[in-house]
């Protein structure tokens, strides 16, 4: 049996509860094991971002709860939750990932510095990652001096640096051309294999979906297909 | 790392940071300059008015100011004068004996204000010698008068002519005397110019049968800003039989005029602060909204709001401090320049000032309190405005912030 990293029980998120309720997420169950490389696909508005935000502890579910490595993060409050995120979850967003006034190296080490890790460890890790993402020569470049693809690679390296439990990436390739997108996926896959890092990312780019080992399909706030189970959980009504 | 972040954030849009600092500096500069100028004008006005006749502080027999008659004069006590002179804050002690009498020449008679005074001390306090337009200044042991120009004209008198004075002396004794005119004075206040006659104190006391008596002791002092404490101190040291009055109490009209002008200055500077404050607030708001995504990202990846707020507050404080220091640094030479090269009024306004015997020049006042208070006001205002981003971050939800 593989080690469980994420366990989401009966997750719902309802917007506009008082007027016309919108189920952004409707009673979703999700189980992710260590080392998985999972894509979440689905049309715009199907609830991909909402699901990732719940798993990442950025937003509170209206119903249900999320367990990460056995910790129920839905019960964590305020700074406890922030510290949990800082120490356990890596985030890659669609854009505005990097701090504009810091160099590639400083951006990558930023989270480790917030965690107050020792400097030698941080330096070593940053150099290692810069090599892995193929940007050793851009070490002192600011984000605006990097291409969109390079910026996203730095963002992945930053998320990965402190070795979190898993990395959440919400449409990381949405702003990239197809070459850069594939290149980013290559790097993510490589890191997934070399460091056994768990990746969960949302996308609607078919070529990206093709790289994933597990594909979850969402529609109207529900998971309608999950290749890990190779069965349709909820038939669309 | 955090320090690095703060520093680089300051210079991420260096032009805007510099413009912000410059506008803060300008606020400080303008406020300091305005107040220095205003204070300079007032102090100059006060100096002119006070030095003209009254002195900053007067000592009378209790009740004299309400009923200005010779019976309310007091016996000139040497120890009293010495006691006043002893105070380090007092520069001049001028004893006077003043009363209304009639002045006449042949069949023309006019009411006039007779001032018996110590000729040397009077000159030190009010520069009486400078107001002489004909003849010569009088000495303490002379029996001669100085006559104001307007009165001389009305009485058709010239230098070396004889003036006849008569009236009521101390304790209703009849007073009458003839005095040679030693000089004619031009007194800038039209009222004084039409009615003043100066006589040496001794001669005046003799004329009014008021030997060794004074109505008033007029004081010159070192520091006009510390008038009230000095008044209190003098009051206590010389005792209850005397009243000690400041120029504000002697001339309430002028004091009120200055107060009213000071008030409009406060309103004006309030408006200035408001304008600059709003400009600054707009910039701060723009900067904050621009960085919304970045703040959302930082909070999402695990930075605490308190950490982010500390960074933003440091940025504000740095900008505010640099701006204020720059403003102070720029103000000093300008205020200094305007003190050395005072503004000079021209035209009608200048003429009307000069008519009152005041030079129409306005040196600024270099005053550390002005620098400190104005800078502090701007600093506090700037930092208060800089609390906006903190408030913004406080109510921020990272998920919402990162939404397009
Ligand atoms: N803050 C919100 N308020 C109201 N409705 C929201 C909010 N956020 C998302 N939604 C709704 O929830 C649904 C799912 O959105 P989202 O998770 O962003 O979908 P996706 O990421 O798959 O495009 C959409 O119908 C969206 O309109
Ligand atoms: Mg989305």
Torsion sign across C-alpha atoms B121, B125, B130, B133: negative
CB contact under 8 A, B301 and A85: yes
Task: Supply the pLDDT for residue B353.
Answer: 66
Q: How confident is the model at residue A228 (pLDDT cuts 50, 70, 90)?
A: confident
Torsion sign across C-alpha atoms B346, B347, B349, B352: positive
- pLDDT at residue A233 is higher than 60: no
| Pair A48, A219: CB distance under 8 Å | no
Alpha carbon distance A56, A155 (integer Å): 16
- B246-274 average pLDDT score: 84
- pLDDT at residue B348 is higher than 90: no
Say how far residue A118 (Cα) sits from the centre of its chain. Answer: 25
Percent of chain A with pLDDT over 70: 95
- B240-252 average pLDDT score: 89
Q: Extract the tokens encoding B219.
A: 């004081």
Task: Supply the pLDDT for residue A150.
Answer: 95
- A50-65 average pLDDT score: 93
Task: Supply the pLDDT for residue A229.
Answer: 63
Task: Supply the pLDDT for residue B139.
Answer: 93
Q: How confident is the model at residue B269 (pLDDT cuts 50, 70, 90)?
A: confident
CB contact under 8 A, A85 and B302: yes
Query: DSSP assignment of B271-314, as one string?
Result: HHHHHHHHHHHHHHHHHHHHTHHHHHHHHHHT--HHHHHHHHHH
Ligand 1 mutation target, pool A23, A47, A168, most atoms within 8 A of CB: A47
Task: Supply the pLDDT for residue B403.
Answer: 77
Q: Is B246 left (phi over 0), alpha (psi -120 to 50) or beta?
A: beta
Task: Supply the pLDDT for residue B32.
Answer: 86
Q: How confident is the model at residue B149 (pLDDT cuts 50, 70, 90)?
A: very high
Q: In chain B, where are the structural domains located?
A: 2-49+254-401, 63-239
- pLDDT at residue B346 is higher than 80: no
- pLDDT at residue A234 is higher than 60: no
| Pair A91, A49: CB distance under 8 Å | no
Residue A71 has a CB neighbour count (10 Å cut-off) of: 15
Task: Supply the pLDDT for residue A1.
Answer: 58
Closest residue, chain B, to A52 (C-alpha): B399
Task: Supply the pLDDT for residue B17.
Answer: 87
Burial degree of B67 (CB within 10 A; 0-12, 13-18, 19+) = exposed
Option in A59, A95, A111 nearest B302 (CB): A111
Superfamily, domain A4-226: P-loop containing nucleotide triphosphate hydrolases (3.40.50.300)
Q: In chain A, where are the structural domains located?
A: 4-226
Half-sphere exposure (CA, 13 Å, Cβ side) for B247?
24
- B255-282 average pLDDT score: 84
Q: Which residues pair with B90 in a beta bridge?
A: B221
For residue A96, which residues of chain B lie inside 8 Å, CB to CB? 293-294, 296-297, 402
* Coil vs helix vs strand at B225: helix
Residues B219-237 have pLDDT tens digits of: 988 888 888 899 999 888 8
Q: How confident is the model at residue A236 (pLDDT cuts 50, 70, 90)?
A: very low
Task: Supply the pLDDT for residue B359.
Answer: 64
Considering only CA atoms, which residue is closest to atom 20 of ligand 1? A45
- B337-351 average pLDDT score: 75
Alpha carbon distance B60, B84 (integer Å): 13
Closest residue, chain A, to B398 (C-alpha): A58
Closest residue, chain A, to B402 (C-alpha): A96
Lowest mean pLDDT: which of A13-17, A153-157, B327-331, B358-362? B358-362
Cα–Cα distances in Å, from B376 out to A179, B8, B37, B279?
Answer: 57, 26, 19, 19
Tally C-beta pairs within 8 A across A and B.
55
Task: Supply the pLDDT for residue B352.
Answer: 65
Task: Supply the pLDDT for residue B265.
Answer: 81
Residue of B188, B134, B124 lying closest to B157 (CA atoms): B134
Closest residue, chain B, to A53 (C-alpha): B399
Strands (E), B16-173: 57-61, 74-75, 90-105, 108-117, 132-135, 145-148, 162-168
- pLDDT at residue A235 is higher than 50: no
Give the ipTM: 0.91
Q: How confident is the model at residue B374 (pLDDT cuts 50, 70, 90)?
A: confident
Task: Supply the pLDDT for residue B256.
Answer: 83
Decide: A19 in ligand 1 pocket, CB within 6 A.
no
Decide: A45 in ligand 1 pocket, CB within 6 A.
yes
Residues A208-226 have pLDDT tens digits of: 898 899 999 999 999 998 8
What is the number of the ligand 1 atom nearest to the C-alpha of A170? 21
For residue A44, which residues of chain B lie inside 8 Å, CB to CB? none
Higher pLDDT, B77 or B21: B21
- pLDDT at residue A15 is higher than 60: yes
Task: Supply the pLDDT for residue B358.
Answer: 62
Whether chain A has a CB inside 8 Å of the CB on B294: the answer is: yes
- pLDDT at residue B208 is higher than 60: yes
Q: Extract the tokens encoding B207.
A: 């004329």
- B310-333 average pLDDT score: 90
Q: How confident is the model at residue B147 (pLDDT cuts 50, 70, 90)?
A: very high
Higher pLDDT, A172 or B259: A172
Percent of chain B with pLDDT over 90: 39
Alpha carbon distance B31, B384 (integer Å): 18
Option in B5, B296, B302 nearest A82 (CB): B302
Task: Supply the pLDDT for residue A231.
Answer: 44
Residues A149-183 have pLDDT tens digits of: 999 999 999 999 999 999 999 999 998 998 999 99
For residue A83, which residues of chain B lie inside 8 Å, CB to CB? 302
Ligand lying closest to the C-alpha of residue A25: 1
Task: Supply the pLDDT for residue A237.
Answer: 41
Residue of A158, A160, A165 lying closest to A109 (CA atoms): A158
Whether chain B has a CB inside 8 Å of the CB on A81: the answer is: no
């Amino acid at each position: 049996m593989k080690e469980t990293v994420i366990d989401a029980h009966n997750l719902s998120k309802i917007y506009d509860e008082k007027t016309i309720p919108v189920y952004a997420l409707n009673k979703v169950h999700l189980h992710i094991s260590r080392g998985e490389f999972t894509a979440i696909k689905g049309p715009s508005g199907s609830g991909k971002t909402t699901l990732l935000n719940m798993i990442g502890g950025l937003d509170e579910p209206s119903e249900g709860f999320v367990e990460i490595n056995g910790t129920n993060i839905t019960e964590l409050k305020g700074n406890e939750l922030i510290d949990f995120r800082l120490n356990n979850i890596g985030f890659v967003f669609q854009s505005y990932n990097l701090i504009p006034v810091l160099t590639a190296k400083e951006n990558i080490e930023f989270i480790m510095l917030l965690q107050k890790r020792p400097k030698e460890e941080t330096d070593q890790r940053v150099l290692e990652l810069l090599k892995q993402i193929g940007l050793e020569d851009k070490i002192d470049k600011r984000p605006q001096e990097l291409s969109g693809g390079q910026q996203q690679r730095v963002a992945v390296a930053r998320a990965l640096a402190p070795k979190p439990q898993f990395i959440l990436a919400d449409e990381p390739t949405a702003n990239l051309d197809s070459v850069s997108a594939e290149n980013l996926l290559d790097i993510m896959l490589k890191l997934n294999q070399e460091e056994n890092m768990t990746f969960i990312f949302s996308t609607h780019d078919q070529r990206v979906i093709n790289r994933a080992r597990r594909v979850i399909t969402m529609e109207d706030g529900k998971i309608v297909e999950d290749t890990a189970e190779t069965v349709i959980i909820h038939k669309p009504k | 790392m955090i320090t690095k972040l703060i520093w680089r954030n300051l210079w991420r849009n260096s032009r805007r940071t510099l413009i912000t600092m410059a506008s803060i500096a300008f606020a400080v500069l303008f406020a300091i300059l305005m107040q220095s100028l205003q204070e300079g004008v007032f102090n100059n006005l006060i100096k002119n008015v006070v030095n003209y006749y009254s002195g900053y502080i007067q000592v009378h027999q209790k009740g004299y100011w309400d009923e200005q008659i010779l019976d309310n004069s007091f016996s000139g006590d040497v120890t009293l004068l010495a006691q006043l002179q002893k105070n380090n804050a007092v520069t001049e002690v001028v004893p006077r004996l003043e009363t209304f009498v009639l002045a006449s020449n042949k069949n023309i008679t006019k009411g006039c204000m007779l001032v018996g005074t110590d000729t040397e001390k009077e000159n030190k306090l009010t520069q009486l010698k400078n107001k002489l337009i004909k003849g010569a200044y009088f000495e303490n042991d002379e029996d001669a008068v100085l006559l104001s120009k307007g009165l001389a004209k009305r009485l058709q008198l010239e230098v070396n002519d004889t003036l006849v004075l008569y009236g009521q002396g101390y304790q209703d004794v009849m007073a009458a005397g003839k005095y040679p005119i030693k000089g004619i004075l031009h007194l800038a206040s039209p009222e004084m110019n039409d009615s003043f006659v100066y006589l040496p104190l001794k001669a005046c006391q003799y004329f009014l049968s008021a030997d060794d008596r004074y109505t008033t002791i007029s004081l010159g002092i070192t520091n006009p800003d510390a008038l009230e404490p000095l008044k209190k101190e003098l009051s206590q040291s010389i005792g209850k039989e005397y009243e000690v009055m400041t120029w504000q109490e002697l001339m309430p009209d002028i004091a009120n005029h200055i107060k009213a002008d000071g008030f409009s200055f406060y309103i004006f500077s309030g408006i200035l602060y408001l304008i600059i404050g709003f400009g600054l607030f707009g910039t701060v708001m723009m900067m904050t909204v621009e960085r919304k995504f970045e703040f959302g990202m930082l909070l999402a990846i695990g930075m605490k709001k308190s950490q982010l707020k500390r960074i933003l507050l440091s940025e504000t404080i740095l900008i505010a401090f640099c701006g204020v220091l720059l403003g102070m640094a720029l103000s000093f030479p300008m205020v200094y320049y305007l003190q050395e090269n005072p503004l000079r009024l021209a035209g009608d306004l200048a003429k009307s000032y000069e008519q009152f015997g005041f030079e129409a020049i306005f040196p600024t006042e270099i005053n550390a309190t002005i620098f400190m208070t104005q800078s502090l006001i701007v600093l506090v205002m700037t930092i208060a405005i800089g609390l906006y981003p903190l408030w913004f971050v406080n109510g921020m939800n990272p998920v919402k912030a990162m939404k397009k």
